[in-house]
Amino acid sequence: MIDVPLNQIDTQEIKRRSLVGVVTLTSRTFILQVIALVATFILTILLTPTVFGIFFVVTAVVNFLNYFSDIGLAAALIQKKDELTRDDLTTTFTIQQLLVSFAVIIALVLSSRVADFYKLGSDGIWLFRALVIAFFLSSLKTIPSVLLERKLDFQKLVIPQIVETLVFYVVAILLALKGEGVRSFAWAAIWRGISGVIVLYLIAPWQPGLALKKESARKLLSFGLPYQANSFLALLKDDLLTIFLGKILPFSAIGYIGWAKKWAEISLRLIMDNVIKVTFPTYSRLQHDSQLLGKAIQKSLLFLSLLTLPIAVGMLFLVKPFILIVPRYSKWEPALFSFYLFTFSAVLAAISSPLVNALNAIGKVKYTFLLMIMWTSLTWVLVPLFVYIYGFNGVAVAAVIISLTSFVPVVFIRKVVRIHFLPELAKIGLATLFMVFTMSVFTLVSPTPQLRFTFSLLAGFSVYAILIYALLGSYLAPYWQLLTRTIKS
């Protein structure tokens, strides 16, 4: 059997697998993210903001190609209630490879023109071509990844991610130490792509096949095309914006924006991405029971708020002394203001993004389509305006204003299921406020950046942990017990 249909996995098993998935992804990717963050930190010491700016812009151009490689079929396979057939898989694979091959050929033919348009130079051309090759390799991983996600087998799915991350950063750092600059990212991307494909096919064997079955394509595209319409708007909102900014701003400014956004969104990458990865197939499996679905969404929001808020607050207080402590890191100080603003918008995204994910998972793509129209329109109106007024910091100013609309997904999700999470969220907010007060005091009284960093970190997180235990200990106890039993079993 290729796949497990919905009615063969009961609610308790979905709950257990989802919890195992969250624990597995969060624990393993926590270590992985630490490695990635340390490696990124090393690269930001070795490489200049201009090099990072080139990498961000070229990556955005390749991501633009990536949109046309899927047309939502992978999400349609995950979301499908019934058992997947061989026809579903081969049809998806065939359509995707046709689209990918066409996009790769066009990209390689136009690579010199892209380089001339952005004045990338020979290293920039090589980076663009390398990322295009990596894009093709990534497309080969779609079907095995979908099969693992359908089974909620995230313990295996995380293995290729670990290998890819390690390979990418080891290669990038070694080449950066040799002074390769932009080429460091190029070779790292190629080796990441090769290693990811090999490992994924070893742990989730699937024999590729070419076929075009009209009925399978029709059913999958009925969900995939509306879903991909949302992805297209996300593409316009994010990657196309980076492509636009890369033309009107210096690469160093793009580097500052990318640095600020990356570090501000640590809590999202570390926690939220893992939760969303697990909850998309989980919500899909629970869409037949609105009560259970509502509870699952509430727990996801609570878990995210519990962990993302203190991480975001900690980063706000610690980033400035960190820059002062580390040698050769003062070059990133111009990006601090953007970092503070991006951190604020990231906190609100921790609430809105899981709700958008839930709407997609249960097939309510018309709601997410409206959301993406709103956010894309606001982005393209506000970002150019504020960039004109404030320079590269205008991107972060616009992000804060746009993030204030994060309440809209709550309105939409309540049209589908009933969720109540405000009492617990208020308690988390109270604990966070005391954490802010504590870290503010230690920031003011500590005489050196080193002491400010150490004491603020220890005192702030200690106060938060104590208050969470006092305010939510009894509420969280059953989940903690379930978690420990799951880990032991």
Average pLDDT over residues 283-312: 83
Least reliable range by pLDDT among 12-26, 56-70, 127-141: 12-26
Please give the structure tokens belonging to residue 317.
């207080």
What's the pLDDT score for residue 6?
A: 47
Looking at residue 323, its amino acid is I
- Rounded to whole angstroms, the Cα distance separating 395 from 379 reads 9
Is the pLDDT at 82 greater than 80? The verdict is no
User: Which of 132-146, 313-327, 383-397 tops mean pLDDT?
Assistant: 383-397
- Rounded to whole angstroms, the Cα distance separating 452 from 456 reads 6
Is the pLDDT at 1 greater than 60? The verdict is no
Least reliable range by pLDDT among 7-21, 87-101, 167-181: 7-21
369 in Cβ contact with 233 (< 8 Å): yes
- Rounded to whole angstroms, the Cα distance separating 275 from 308 reads 12
Q: What pTM value is reported for the model?
A: 0.79
Q: Is 105 helix (H, G, I), strand (E, B) or coil?
A: helix
Is the pLDDT at 236 greater than 90? The verdict is no
Burial label for 331, CB within 10 Å (0-12, 13-18, 19+), is middle
Average pLDDT over residues 290-300: 82
What's the pLDDT score for residue 17?
A: 57
Looking at residue 244, its amino acid is F
